[in-house]
Structure 1
């Protein structure tokens, strides 16, 4: 059973009190143990669409440690729907890491392809539609119009007013849904987990594509710790210290970088005094086990 609406909790930290900040966190990581955070939001209406339209199942894409792959496998299993995962890396197997083992155990059929073939399939869904007729094809990360609709509900569940909302950013779908739901009220800040400024144009294109006219946002690209999937020893220490201090676990790929950015922005007086801020915990915790196995870094679960 899903925990909807997810709880919202105030974070008490001496830094926030010193700076006159009121900081809250929307705990979407507590929605479901396997379909958590923004993955639940993105999959909700897509799963409903597949069931109501009597489609055959879902085909989607992801890397070796993809939260989206794991969540899609679990959601399809819970709804007795077939799922197929196109996995980037033809050297991989269903036993390569905890994420792929979990997806396979949930009944997802994994197809391992070269990085070049992966790119071609991702950019041309027509071929997949021919080989998998009647399936819904979900893009990498799960962002489509139905996913954005689901992400809007993160905001509509919040029954307080806030000056700022802050979220981590991968493909940008969660941020787009939040921005649409906020309807021009307050300011939305996105912390990109990807290295490079291309995310700015990609996000603008997404807003244009989905007809989201609001501009009350700022996208920050300086808190990536070296790039997507890159994690320093300092960030691991920050994750463990934060869990000890506020009893919230953040993942090293997305949400820990978001929370680190928030603390630095508050330290440097980015926000006016007496600002009220809500952070969106987008989940992603399933990936920690694989990260520990691969990187041999000690994140305290």
Structure 2
């Protein structure tokens, strides 16, 4: 499998010296222009498996502004797979051109199947999967968000030997695959902190299915009301962070995580002398779609 990607770097964030801690950001968003961050990590071994098993088509699931949908479409176009996206919300069928994520996926050759939210809730049922096979033929299925055993294996490659110096590893949490990989490749002496982008305590169970260590916890205070929920305070933080550090953050995942980390530093959550590594998981393609929503609400946009 030929896939060119850039090396990542750990970029230091200037903090007030009186806090006595150091913060670095692992710039996984720089891995690739379109298959960036954890999406590349999650797809790597799935794509190798699909190629090894001689599949020609990838099928996956996602919502209107899904980073995963965009990444699968791009990766399929680069490597030579046909791609199918099962999209939540049948009302989106006639709105592709107005949706930057779906339009990008279509331009990269993805074929769509739009389904109602009720049908989407049963997307993993045998009956529904059989109907997809009858409609599209044989395909290699990648779960919503990309999380499976092979995805976790890919995410286990995020940390390097040089990262062993950090006391805390922080990442945003969606489906739990990325943090599971980080937990598995972290040292027992390191604490892995997950910042869920959505409400609910169910993620603990999902992570426990894949995690091989217990050196982790979820910080559940920074979801801003739920998945893809955002307010003016978060937009201002994201814009200020980019202006000060030239680090763009997405509003669904990394923006909330860094907001949380900076707030915890301000509240002296981390002991003095701590070294913190925040994983930038990409997701920047979602900014354009979020800005369209913000404009409709007459709210400030992400610049």
Same fold (TM over 0.5): yes
- Structure-2 residue corresponding to 1:272: 271
Task: Measure how far apart 1:49 and its partner are.
Answer: 1.2
- Structure-2 residue corresponding to 1:13: 15
TM-score (norm 1): 0.93
Q: How does 1:159-178 map to 2 (within 5 A)?
A: 159-178=163-182
Taking the aligned partners of 1:158 and 1:61, their CA distance within structure 2 comes to 35
Report if the CA contact (8 A) 1:121-1:127 is conserved: no
Taking the aligned partners of 1:123 and 1:243, their CA distance within structure 2 comes to 42
Taking the aligned partners of 1:162 and 1:126, their CA distance within structure 2 comes to 46
Taking the aligned partners of 1:247 and 1:298, their CA distance within structure 2 comes to 19
Taking the aligned partners of 1:229 and 1:286, their CA distance within structure 2 comes to 14
Taking the aligned partners of 1:184 and 1:126, their CA distance within structure 2 comes to 43
- Structure-2 residue corresponding to 1:3: 5
Superimposed CA distance per residue, residues 5-29 of structure 1 (whole angstroms, 9 cap, x where no aligned partner): 3111111133xx2201111111001
Superimposed CA distance per residue, residues 16-67 of structure 1 (whole angstroms, 9 cap, x where no aligned partner): x220111111100111111111001001111111112111211000000000
Superimposed CA distance per residue, residues 90-112 of structure 1 (whole angstroms, 9 cap, x where no aligned partner): 01133240000000000000111
TM-score (norm 2): 0.92
- Structure-2 residue corresponding to 1:283: 282
3-state DSSP of counterpart to 2:251:
coil
- Structure-1 residue corresponding to 2:80: 80
Superimposed CA distance per residue, residues 65-117 of structure 1 (whole angstroms, 9 cap, x where no aligned partner): 00000000000000011000000010113324000000000000011111111
Task: Measure how far apart 1:160 and its partner are.
Answer: 4.3
Q: How does 1:55-134 map to 2 (within 5 A)?
A: 55-93=55-93, 94-124=96-126, 125-134=129-138
Instruction: Quickly say closer, same or farther: Cα 1:299–1:157, change in 2 above 3 A.
Output: farther
Count residues with an aligned counterpart: 294
How well do the aligned residues superpose, as a CA RMSD in angstroms? 1.6
Taking the aligned partners of 2:34 and 2:66, their CA distance within structure 1 comes to 12
Taking the aligned partners of 2:161 and 2:141, their CA distance within structure 1 comes to 28
Gaps of 5+ in 1: none
